[in-house]
Amino acid sequence: MKPAIAVRQLTKAYAEGSAGTLALSGVDLDVHAGELLMLVGPSGSGKTTLLSIMGCILTATSGSVRLAGREVSTLREKELPAIRLEHVGFVFQGFNLFPTLTAGENVELMLDLKKVPAAKAKKRAHELLDQIGIGDKYDAFPSDLSGGQKQRVAIARALAGDPGIILADEPTAALDSHTGRNVMKQMTELAHRRGRAVVIVTHDSRVLDFADRIVKIEDGTIAAGSLPAIAQMPNKLPIHDRPVYGMAGARLEVTL
Amino acid sequence: MPPLAQRNLFHDKVRLTVTLTGIVFAVVLIVVELGLFFGFTVTTSNLIDHAGADLWITSPKVPYVEMGVPFSERKLNQIRAVPGVGDAQKLVAQWTQWKLHDGSQESVQIVGANPDSPLGRPWNLVEGRAEDLKDPDAVILDEIYKQKLGVSRVGEVFEVRGHRARVVGFTRGIRSFTTSPYVFSTFKHGQDFTGMREDQTTYILVKAAPGADLKQVRRGILSQVRNVDVYTTTEFSHMTRFYWMFTTGAGVAVLIAAVLGLVVGFVVVAQTIYATTMDHVREFGTLKAMGAPNSYVYKVIMKQAGISAVIGYVLGMIVSVFVVHASQKGGAAILMPMPMAVGMFFVTLTMCVGAALVSINKVMRIDPAMVFKG
């Protein structure tokens, strides 16, 4: 089966004055449908840059990115929004909900972008919020929601477009431990039950046990010499049996 | 589409108030400045536009109505003999001095005509009748200038260039562009008040006979009456307006103020609309990250601008109507003709949309990757 995301020899350089900064160098990575992959690594290592390129928000300097089998690295910038809309749902650290819209309207907005008729969109938004356990918050504004509830609305919004890929940037960073784990359960469900390819950038060691696979990025590369990042990984291994790529050994000893 | 534009506007009441205040300020500023310009322009040719004439016969090369040079009144009969002339009347329009009860003097413009003819009579009378001018020493003036000329009521007697002048009525809204108010009288009294010779007149006003071709009447007068110029009311009105508004520089100053009002208004609106858009820049970044095409973001911003324009225009016009109404009692009229009121809507819309375009330019440059920054 083709991976939902296939990244090959990805390089991203930022121009900085006369010199350039290499944010990513020669990254290879596959993410499969039904898999929850976590990208870890120190600040500035290139995790978010990799996530942005996989989400067609940034373009790569060189290399290949395929989403659902389609090469997107060669597309023009104005073609990328349509790809994002079709294939990718985002969950952000700061939730990025529209503060002037209710929870339901935040979800409906995504459906509106996909040109779903208003009545259908309203019904679908109700369903999504129900599924995620906050159906009663449809008319609540983000300012009236807790952090966990906001993140659930964000997840519902990401799901509204029915994307095959969910990309999340530090989704638990602004949440307490209990709420963070609840949100991670939702994310895991997206991967395992709904068959989405879920990629999460995180510094939060409390939630690593939810990962099917953990890939460590250091200095713009996937750490260590081998390329198991493109291997298909089992979902259900106990946390201590799951390999951490980019580390010297197979045992999980991630220092974040 | 979820009501993002409306909510962005109405959610923050303080920001909404600031935005609308900016637009209302701009609308009122432009209305006042343009209204003053129109008011001044209309005032300069007030006398010509309301005299009821089709043609104005003047001495040669008279540049504007206040600059009339007396000529022989014998030309009146020659003019009446021209085919197509329905009515022709003499009109004296000259400056003179009005003596107040305390002995001080004010400059006034005497407008003397035949009160039995509709040509050159006072209009908008609120007290007295034009026919009352036939009474001995009778004059009519505008109520705006009561205080300036020391008049409190009908029946008061004053002195104009050594002649008795008794106030028999008041008009409303007949302003003079100069500092000298119009004082209406009969032609004969007008001659006395201004010291004009009995065989002279300043103008002859012509009303064409029903169905007569005005161009032909004009050609006829020019061919049969020597040493006069003949202008249509429109031409003479434009000449007078042009003289006062542009040759003297008075109008240029008002026009520059009007243009500045437009520029300042635009800047104020641009600033407020821009700030409103920038307040939501992160949300626009999120929209773009979610996959919204630029056109979708344009629509939201334009809708915000459009709603702001409509509300700002309505509120601005309400304030403007009060200002215009209040100005009617003052010396400088602010006019807001219907085309200007309608035009102001499009000006407001253009300002808001133009300002939105400036902010759109900024929003389009948003890096959607900003959504990942905390």
Which residues 188-217 in chain A show a CB within 8 A of chain B?
none
CB B246 within 8 A of CB B41: no
**Are residues B1 and A112, on separate chains, in Cβ contact within 8 Å?**
yes
**Closest chain B residue to A117 measured between Cα atoms?**
B1
Name which of B294, B369, B374 is nearest A52 (Cβ-Cβ): B369
ipTM summary value: 0.83
Range in A109-113, B259-263, B311-315 the model is least confident about: B259-263
From chain B, pick out residues whose CB is under 8 angstroms from the CB of A120: none
Mean pLDDT rounded to a whole number for chain B: 90
Is B283–A98 a contact, with Cβ atoms under 8 angstroms apart?
yes
pLDDT digits (tens, 9 = 90+) for B119-157: 999 999 999 999 999 998 999 999 999 999 999 999 999
Domain boundaries of chain A, sorted by first residue: 5-245
The two structure tokens encoding residue B182:
């119009």
Contacts of A113 (CB under 8 A, 6+ apart): A85, A161, B287, B290, B291, B292, B296
Contact state of B11 with A58 under an 8 Å Cβ cutoff: no
Helix runs in B207-293, H state only = 214-224, 233-242, 250-279, 281-290
Measured at the CA of A116, the angle between CA A114 and CA A120, to 5 degrees, comes to 145
The fraction of chain A above a pLDDT of 70, given in percent, is: 86
**Is CATH 3.40.50.300 correct for A5-245?**
yes
Q: Which amino acid is at A68?
A: A
Expressed in angstroms, the distance from the first to the final Cα of chain B is 27
For chain B, positions 330-349, list CB contacts with chain A under 8 A. Answer: none
Cα separation, A47 vs A40, whole angstroms: 7
* Chain B contacts in chain A segment 11-50 (CB below 8 A): 48
Q: Within an 8 Å CB–CB cutoff, is residue B13 touching chain A?
A: no
Mean pLDDT score of chain A, rounded to an integer?
84
For A22-74, the DSSP string reads EEEEEEEEEE-TT-EEEEE--TTSSHHHHHHHHTTSS--SEEEEEETTEE-TT
Residues with Cβ within 8 Å of residue A231, at least 6 apart in sequence: A30
Q: How many CB pairs under 8 A join A and B?
A: 78
Chain A residue with minimal CA distance to B289? A57
Decide if B197 touches A, using CB distance below 8 A: no
Q: Provide mean pLDDT across the span B71-87.
A: 93
Domain residue ranges of chain B, discontinuous segments joined by +: 4-43+250-372, 60-227
Cβ contact B371–A57 (<8 Å): yes
What is the rounded CA–CA span in Å between residue B339 and residue A97?
A: 45
Instruction: Give tens-digit pLDDT for B36-45.
Output: 888 888 888 9
Confidence grade of residue B257 (pLDDT, cut at 50, 70, 90): confident
Confidence at residue A17, expressed as pLDDT on a 0 to 100 scale: 64
Task: Provide the token pair at B310.
Answer: 């409509």
